Each structure stands twice: as structure tokens, then as C-alpha cells.
Amino acid sequence: MALPDAHAQSVAGCLAALGSGPDGLSAAEAARRLGEHGPNRLAEVRGRGMAARFLVQFDNVLVYVLLGASVVTGAMGHWIDTGVILAVVLANAVIGFVQEGKAEAAMAAIRGLLAPRAAVLRDGRRVTVAGAHLVPGDIVLLEPGDRVPADLRVTVARGLFAQEAILTGESVPVEKSARAVAADALLGDRSCMLWSGTLVTQGTAHGVVVATGHATEVGRIGGLLAGVETLSTPLVAQMDHFARWLSFLILLASALLLAFGYFVGHHDFSEMFMAVVGVAVAAIPEGLPAVMTITLAIGVQAMARRNAIVRHLPAIEAIGSVSVICTDKTGTLTRNEMMVVAVETPEGSFEVAGEGYAPEGRVAPEGDLTRLARAAALCNDAAIGRKGGHWTVEGDPMEGALLAFAGKVAGRVEGARLDVVPFDSRHRFMAVLSEGPDGRLTHVKGAPERVLRMCSGIDAHDWHHRAEALARQGLRVLALAERSEPGARIEEATLEGSLTFLGLVGLIDPPRPEAVAAVSECRAAGIRVKMITGDHAGTAAAIARQIGLEHPDRVLTGAELDKLDDAELANLVTSVDVFARTSPEDKLRLVAALQARGLSVAMTGDGVNDAPALKRADAGIAMGRKGSEAAKEAADLVLADDNFATIAAAVREGRTVYDNLRKVISFELPTNAGEALTVVLALLAGLALPITAVQILWVNLITGITLGLALAFEPTEPGTMARAPRRRDAPILSGALVWHVVLVASLFLAAVFGIFAYAIDRGHSLALARTMAMNMLVVLEVFHLFFIRNIHGTSLTWTAVRGTPVVWAVVVAITAAQLAVTYLPPLQTILGTEAVPLRDGFLIVAIGAAFFALVEIEKQMRLGLNGRLGRSTPPVDQP
Ligand code: ATP
């Protein structure tokens, strides 16, 4: 049924050929066609295949070292060692493979949450359907910011422009209309077609679907396929880089050590070789990248559960470090559930009662509001209807409220639409020409200052005051006006000064209670909250007060903002929290000004023109419900529920993820350093190795990574939202971390050598002494894990000790594994272990507890000092 020459046919011809009409298809017919044509979707680029993903696990320095080592041990006839090394390599690859698979699945599921939707006419009614369910013949309604969901023949267009860069490479938007073009016109010249995947930048349109899925132009060229995103963030990339170079450093050092031991120390080569392999394995932080990736994936899922959908992974770090949040008002801080409560007309003031969007309720006192109600109903794109005994809106809630109001005053209003000037946040009004019982009338609604300018014969000054008075109560104010129109089109140029003023309506839009709580949470977390709205200054200030912003009464309007140069704006920007009547360009300037003050900015947006500000912000946040596709695509984060409280939740999750990444690093690095130092020291001092290479392999690759993995699941630490934001430029390898590595590595060293020396001293065999040393290491790791879980507070609370199910699961698993390798004869042969006497076992655990007490006391001393010196709350806005 696809229509290759739709551009050359008339609108009526296309509709007929597609078996459709101006009212669209019936639901039943659409379902039938969906079965016939299949979903409107392009096959996704397949990620790497399973086999490729598995093989990639072998592509790292450590694996090469181990494979090389297994060849050497094999050549020397040490078959058990060879077998253990190969088994560990395999186990490591399987763990990496499974983890990465989970992380990729998590990201794919998140992408599914962002599936596009489209507004269509079915059975003559406007409904929203999944973009995948569009079929040829559907009539699609488009607004600025919409991504065109299928190839469409335009049937109605008003001021329509589309950006077609993905097809034609032309980034300047091109004008579109419903007029047919020559049959041989090139793709870029078919101005009556809208191509799937392109962007509506201006105007509104209806279009009939002519092709879906792979039959579309973009489907045919195989473009637009979302690439597979790599699972990385700046921190993870930084660590990857660090780990890679560290590995080379370690290899070089190990080679030198081998040469030294063989030529200077005159050690036996095969023994020396195994020891050096042990050093390399111990020192290379091989578990780090895998565990960090999993930490990110878990963070992404946690955010999604809280309705914050991460589009770009780096955003997960950025959102955790923001120091200022710039948010919209309508629908984000307020509920976007509107109701007309006050009306002011030249005849007097009226109060309107009622409930939600039900067109029932009293208007008092009595009066004739029919002309106002007619304007409210006809200058309107929304629809209200009853769903399950409940009145709901399809479209803009404010317009729904106007329909409900009109219903209360005048019942049904008749009028056939002839022309429309769509609402645009730049000109802030909307006009509709319709034909009704009283002839042709143009109705205008919009921001009072804009509409009053178009009206004649009134005291504009007085009406401004009355509008202000309504706004001060926190009401959203609209002015309504009309004029009779001779022609069938609205002559926009002649609107100024020609309208008859009908009145003002005031709408309530109550603040979201959870937003009030979230704002105070953000303020406690050292994050400033600023409101940037298109609404009136008075309304904005009133809502800011109700929401609890810091400086609600100082309002800067877009007009005032335009008069400031960048330096003046940067000076003012930190002391003003409310920006009203702003344009999208103002948003961009505000982001830049805040960033110039060294702040890390989160900015929300919904319209197509907000995209530049969202891109510029450190964390761009788009509204999932009322936001345009263009805004969502420019954003790093999408709020599924449009709610400010979700931003606060995302900040909390972002901070948690960053903390957990830091915990993983703080856990793995000292463990590696401690193990490596143990072997190096023994070698240099010419002592017997307290732990063999094969045992190190076991401790490092199996127990270390498993324990580290528990940190990926760590919940938010208490007090996370009471800390000041972290500085974006703070290095990850901070002095504190280096100190932690040194301290913990030294303690590990002392404990392992200590227990080894004690065992030898008691007359235990070398194998038993080594078994005890290995168990010592694992016990230290477990205690270290419990310490690391609370880097910002104490580990000595019941909650901290109780831990989480994941922590205890890994501890139980590791303990079982340790008991097995220590006491089961077959495993004893492989790892060279001997059964540890019970008394010595207890001693090992007691040393672990002493280690825990030492590091915990050290932490408390440090936290106490930092607190007293006031270093825990760094000033954030100094560049
Ligand atoms: P926020 O940025 O907080 O979401 P907003 O949604 O109020 O603000 P805009 O949508 O740009 O911002 O609206 C700005 C002003 O334009 C409104 O205060 C109102 O006066 C007017 N307005 C909004 N929607 C319409 C509409 N559909 N028809 C006519 N006027 C409108």
C-alpha cells in the first residue's frame, strides 16, 4: 500500500489511495493494517555477538601474562600450575562475560523506556499511540520538536519547517506545505513530504502515513540506527587508562625483578618465574574495570526505578556533582493539573468552583460570560472526556481547564475551525479562526501583556494591574480577546490593536508537595534551586514562595535579562532564584553564566528550542511526558514523570554511584598493592614466599573480584544528601586515597608476614604457613570490605554491621570457598594448602578484627579533624 508518488498527488488523491480520510483510520482498520505491514520500526544494530563478546574478555594485558605463564609452566612440566592458571583465566572471562551481558541488557531495557510516541487521529479522535504502531493511512498530528515518526504526506500545514539533515545533510530547516510537487522532484525538494526521523522545528501539521518501518526513506538507506553505547563515564575511562599503564609498569618491574632474582640472587629460574607471575597477578587491578561497569549498570537501573532515565552514561556522574538545578515551573514544580478559579471581565470579577476537569461547577456571581467561554473553548487544541468516571485531558492541561470552564458557563460550544496561529513560546499567544452561529470570529488567548497590546478601547494600565493581582495569588493568568474576520485566513499582520478584549482568567496549578520536600533536600545538599519559567513574574514569585526557594521575591524577567551583558549577568545570577517570562535563548545564557561562576549546572527543558541549553548544561534534563523528542534527544537524562522530586532522587543516585565507584577503587587498589608488596619484599629479602603464585591467583581473581562486586550494590549512605556537592575537577587519586592505599597495604603486609612468621615459629610446615597467610589475606579483604562500605560515616553501627543481603551473600560464598580450598583434599593438592588448626583459624579472624579496629579508628580521627576544620563543606562557587 506504500505510495511512492505521494508527493505528486493531491491530498485528496493520497487519502483515497491509502483508504483513509481527514478523520484517520478506525481502530479496527489500524489493527488490521498493523498485522499486514508489521510494526513501524527499524531493526536495531545488533550488538557484538555472543562469541565476540566472550572473546573480548581475553583481550587484556593480564590474560596475556597468564597465558604466557601457562606456556612456560607447561614447558617446565608444572602441569598443575598450568591447569590452575588456565582455569582462572577461563573463570575470569566467564565472570566478565556475564557481568557485561547484564550491563548491556540493562542499557537496552532503558532505551526501550524511551520509545517514541505519536499523536494520531483514530475514529476522528486524537489519541497517542506508540510510534511502532503507526500504519499507512494513519493521520499523524505534529508540533514543533516532534521527530517525524514515519514517512508522511502533509495534508494540513501551518508555518511548517522541518530539519532534514539526517537524509539530505542540509542543516537549515526547510519549509513544508500541503501542495503537490512534480513527480520527478528530488527527495530534498518534495516539500509536501515529511520524512521519518527528521525533526519538526516550527509550525504544526497533519500528515497521512505513506510508508512505515523499512519502507521509509531512512529505512531504505539503513540510517538512523542508534549505535550501541559504550558503558563508560569519565571516571571509568580515567581508571581504564590508569589501569592499562599501571599494568605495563608492573610488567616491566616484574621482568626486572626476574632478572634480578635470577642473575643477582641466583634463585632457581622456575621458582623465580612463578613468584614473578605472582607479583604481576597481585599488582594488576584486573577486576577494576569489570566491577566499575557493573556499578554503573546498577546505578542506571536504580535511577530508572526512580523514573530518571539515563540517556548518556556520563550523566550519571554529572548529575551527582551538580551544584545548581535550573528547573521549569509548570508540571515540574507544580502538578500541571489546572483549573480556572477566577475570572475578570469589564462587567466584574467572578469566582469559579468545581473539581478537576469536570465541566460542572458554579460561577458566582451570575453574569454573562458566554463570549469569554466561547473564546476559551474554540481557541483550544485539547479535548476533555470521561474515563472510568473521571474527567481527563488529552493535550495541554491548561487548555483542558479552559474547556472545563467553558462547559461550566456555556455547555457545548459550536464552531468549525478555518485557520490557526499556533502557540509559540516566543510570541506567547494563540489565535483560531472559526465559523459558528455568529459568523466568522478570530479568538485569541495568551499572556496578558501580549494580548492587551492587541486590544483597543480599554484601559490597558488598569488591566495590567488586575492581571498582576491575580498573578500575585500564584494564579496563571491568560487574557482572551476576539474580532470578526471577513476572510478565511487570520491576517496576522493586522491583529495588533484590532481585538475586542473579553477578560482575564486565572488558573490554579498547585505546587507538588513532593517538590517542596525535594527542594529542601537539595538545599541541604548544598545545591541551589532556580526556577526558569515562561510564566508571569508575579505567578513565578508566588509559586517560588510556596515551593520554598531561597530568594523567591527577587525576580528577573527575560526583558531585564536581555539588557544585561554577560559579565553583569554572571554577577547577578547567583543571587536571583526566579527568572520569569524567559525565552529558550535566556536559558542558554543562564547556563553559561552559572558555569562561568564555576557551578555545575543541571537544566530542565521541554521545547525544541531548549535543546541548546540542555546540551550546554552539565546535566541536561528533559521532560518525558510533556517534552518534545528534540528536547529528549538533546538531554542526558529524561524524567519519566516530569517531577522535580525525581531530579533530587537522581542526584542522590548519582552521588551513590560515584561513591560506589570510589569504594570499588578504594577496595581493589590497596588489596593489590598489599599482595604485590608481600611477594616483592619476600623476594628482595631472599625469604620463602609467604603465599604462592597460584594462591595469589585464587585470592585476587576469585575472592577479590567477588567481594568487590558487593560494593556495586551498595545502597546510599546516610548523610549523602547532607554533603556539599563534589567538585567536578576533584582528582580521583586524591591524597586521601593514596594514603588509604599506603595504610591498608602496610597493614596487609604486616599481618600476612606476621602470621607466616608465627606459623613457621610454631613449627608448622611451609605449606601450612602459606595456607594461613592466604586465609589471612582473605579475612583481611572481608574486614576491609565492611570498612569501605561506610567511607563517610562510621562502620560501628548496627545497620553497618547488618550490611545488605548482597554483602552477606558474597561473604558466605567466600567463606565456603575458603573452607573448601583449605580442607578438601583434592583442592588442597591443586592450591598446595593444608588444613589449618581451629585455634590458628580463630587467631586469623582475630587479627582481621584488629585490622578493622585500626583502620576504623584512623578514619574517625580523620573525619573528626576534617569536620573541625570545616573542610567537609568546600565553597563551591569560587572558580
Ligand atoms: P515553564 O517553563 O515553567 O514550563 P510555561 O510552560 O508557563 O513555563 P510557556 O509554555 O512558554 O511557559 O508559556 C508562557 C506563557 O504563554 C504562559 O504564561 C501563558 O501566558 C502563555 N501560554 C502558554 N500556553 C499557551 C497556549 N496554549 N495558548 C496561549 N497562551 C499560552
Q: Give per-residue pLDDT as tens, 178-201.
A: 999 988 888 888 999 999 888 898
Residue 55 phi, psi (nearest 5): -65, -35
With cut-offs at 50, 70 and 90, classify the pLDDT of residue 224. Answer: very low
pLDDT digit string, tens, across residues 728-782: 777 777 788 889 999 999 999 999 999 999 999 999 999 999 999 999 999 999 9
The closest of 717, 716, 707 to 668, measured between CA atoms, is 707
> What's the gap between Cα 379 and its chain centre?
36
Measured from the Cα of 331, ligand 1's closest atom is 4
CATH code of 263's domain: 1.20.1110.10
Average pLDDT estimate for 82-109 = 78
Query: For residues 209 and 92, which has the higher predicted lDDT (pLDDT)?
Result: 209
With cut-offs at 50, 70 and 90, classify the pLDDT of residue 159. Answer: confident
**Which alpha helices (H) appear in 411-459, and where do they start and end?**
448-454
637 lies in the same domain as 661 = no
Whether residue 325 is predicted with pLDDT greater than 90 in this model: the reply is yes
451 lies in the same domain as 495 = yes
The closest of 830, 522, 862 to 692, measured between CA atoms, is 830
771 lies in the same domain as 861 = yes
Q: Answer yes or no: is 56 within a domain.
A: no
Out of 223-232, 237-246, 294-303, 428-437, least confident range: 223-232
Query: For residues 73 and 99, which has the higher predicted lDDT (pLDDT)?
Result: 73
> What pLDDT does residue 803 have?
74
Q: Answer yes or no: is 68 within a domain.
A: no
364 lies in the same domain as 503 = yes
213 lies in the same domain as 272 = no
Three-state SS for 602? strand
- What does 156-208 look like in DSSP terms, one character per residue? EEEEEEEE-HHHH---S-EE--S----TT--GGG-TTEE-TT-EEEEEEEEEE
With b for 16 or more beta-carbon neighbours within 10 A and e for fewer, the 163-195 pattern comes to bbebbbeeeebbebbbebeeeeeeeeebbbbbb
Whether residue 868 is predicted with pLDDT greater than 70 in this model: the reply is no
Ligand 1 pocket residue status of 288, Cβ below 6 Å: no
Nearest-10 crossing angle of helices 513-524, 644-684? 40
Whether residue 873 is predicted with pLDDT greater than 70 in this model: the reply is no
With cut-offs at 50, 70 and 90, classify the pLDDT of residue 874. Answer: very low
Residue 49 has what DSSP assignment?
-
> What pLDDT does residue 230 have?
55
> What pLDDT does residue 112 have?
67
Q: What percent of the chain has pLDDT over 70?
A: 95
Per-residue cell: 717? 549512605
Ligand 1 pocket residue status of 587, Cβ below 6 Å: no
pLDDT digit string, tens, across residues 835-852: 999 999 999 999 999 999
Nearest CA to ligand 1 atom 26: 423
Please calculate the CA angle 115-119-122 and round it to the nearest 5 degrees. 120
- Chosen domain end from 227, 243, 270: 227
Three-state SS for 41? coil
The closest of 40, 5, 20 to 190, measured between CA atoms, is 5
Residue 150 has what DSSP assignment?
S
421 lies in the same domain as 546 = no
114 lies in the same domain as 213 = yes
- Round the CA-based radius of gyration of the chain to a whole number and report it: 34
Report for 229-233, 252-256, 647-651, 787-791: range of highest mean pLDDT: 647-651
Q: Answer yes or no: is 612 within a domain.
A: yes
- Pairing relationship of beta strands 151-163 and 139-142 according to DSSP bridges: unpaired
Q: Which one of 450, 535, 623 would you pick to mutate in the ligand 1 pocket, going by the greatest count of ligand atoms within 8 A of its CB? A: 535
With cut-offs at 50, 70 and 90, classify the pLDDT of residue 41. Answer: confident
Query: Rounded to two decimals, what is the model's pTM?
Result: 0.84
Distance 70 CA to ligand 1 centre (A): 70
- Chosen domain end from 508, 527, 542: 508
Average pLDDT estimate for 612-632 = 90
CATH code of 625's domain: 3.40.50.1000
> What's the gap between Cα 256 and its chain centre?
47
Ligand 1 pocket residue status of 327, Cβ below 6 Å: no
The Cα–Cα gap between 660 and 81 comes to: 35
pLDDT digit string, tens, across residues 511-557: 999 999 999 999 999 999 999 999 999 999 999 999 999 999 999 99
> What pLDDT does residue 323 have?
94
Ligand 1 pocket residue status of 451, Cβ below 6 Å: no
The Cα–Cα gap between 219 and 197 comes to: 9
Q: Answer yes or no: is 358 within a domain.
A: yes
Contacts of 513 (CB under 8 A, 6+ apart): none
Residue 442 phi, psi (nearest 5): -100, 130
Distance 425 CA to ligand 1 centre (A): 6
The Cα–Cα gap between 80 and 84 comes to: 6
- Cβ-contact 54, 97 below 8 angstroms: yes
Ligand 1 pocket residue status of 295, Cβ below 6 Å: no
- Cβ-contact 152, 210 below 8 angstroms: yes
Contacts of 714 (CB under 8 A, 6+ apart): 656, 659, 660, 663, 789, 804
Q: How many separate domains does the chain show?
A: 4
668 lies in the same domain as 581 = no
- Cβ-contact 322, 600 below 8 angstroms: yes
Query: For residues 571 and 280, which has the higher predicted lDDT (pLDDT)?
Result: 571
pLDDT digit string, tens, across residues 673-732: 888 888 888 888 878 889 888 888 888 877 888 888 889 888 888 888 988 898 877 777
685 lies in the same domain as 604 = no
- Cβ-contact 664, 292 below 8 angstroms: yes
Q: Answer yes or no: is 294 within a domain.
A: no
- Pairing relationship of beta strands 578-580 and 555-557 according to DSSP bridges: parallel
> What pLDDT does residue 397 have?
92
With b for 16 or more beta-carbon neighbours within 10 A and e for fewer, the 202-228 pattern comes to bbbbbbbbbbbbebbbbbeeeeeeeee
CATH code of 440's domain: 3.40.1110.10
Q: Answer yes or no: is 236 within a domain.
A: no
> What pLDDT does residue 516 have?
95
Ligand 1 pocket residue status of 328, Cβ below 6 Å: yes
Q: Is 610 tagged catalytic?
A: no
615 lies in the same domain as 687 = no
Distance 535 CA to ligand 1 centre (A): 6
The Cα–Cα gap between 574 and 556 comes to: 12
Q: Answer yes or no: is 37 within a domain.
A: yes
Q: Answer yes or no: is 794 within a domain.
A: yes
Ligand 1 pocket residue status of 396, Cβ below 6 Å: yes
- Chosen domain end from 462, 492, 508: 508
**Which alpha helices (H) appear in 260-343, and where do they start and end?**
269-283, 287-305, 314-320
Nearest CA to ligand 1 atom 2: 533
The Cα–Cα gap between 359 and 406 comes to: 7
With cut-offs at 50, 70 and 90, classify the pLDDT of residue 864. Answer: confident
Q: Residue 78: what residue type?
A: H
The Cα–Cα gap between 650 and 643 comes to: 11
Q: Choosing from 81, 138, 328, 636, which is the catalytic residue?
A: 328
* Residue position matching grid coordinates 486524537: 126
The Cα–Cα gap between 783 and 850 comes to: 10
Distance 484 CA to ligand 1 centre (A): 25
The Cα–Cα gap between 295 and 714 comes to: 9
> What pLDDT does residue 871 have?
39
Distance 370 CA to ligand 1 centre (A): 24
Ligand 1 pocket residue status of 445, Cβ below 6 Å: yes
Contacts of 77 (CB under 8 A, 6+ apart): none
Residue 431 phi, psi (nearest 5): -130, 140
Measured from the Cα of 536, ligand 1's closest atom is 18
Three-state SS for 364? strand
> What pLDDT does residue 701 have?
75
Q: Which domain holds residue 773?
A: 255-288+657-868
497 lies in the same domain as 528 = no
663 lies in the same domain as 807 = yes
What is the edge-to-edge ordering of all strands in the sheet holding 324-327?
308-310, 637-639, 619-623, 601-605, 324-327, 528-532, 578-580, 555-557
Contacts of 350 (CB under 8 A, 6+ apart): 342, 343, 344, 363, 364, 365, 367, 369
C-alpha count within 13 angstroms, C-beta hemisphere, residue 847: 25
> What pLDDT does residue 232 have?
66
Three-state SS for 48? coil
**Which alpha helices (H) appear in 79-148, and where do they start and end?**
79-113
Per-residue cell: 354? 468545581
> What pLDDT does residue 867 have?
55
With cut-offs at 50, 70 and 90, classify the pLDDT of residue 47. Answer: low
The Cα–Cα gap between 737 and 730 comes to: 12
CATH code of 115's domain: 2.70.150.10
Phi-psi domain of 673 (left: phi exceeds 0; alpha: psi -120 through 50; beta: other)? alpha
Whether residue 398 is predicted with pLDDT greater than 90 in this model: the reply is yes
> What pLDDT does residue 1 have?
57
The closest of 445, 418, 451 to 433, measured between CA atoms, is 418
Nearest CA to ligand 1 atom 20: 447
Number of H helices, E strands in the chain: 31, 25
Contacts of 741 (CB under 8 A, 6+ apart): 666, 669, 670, 673
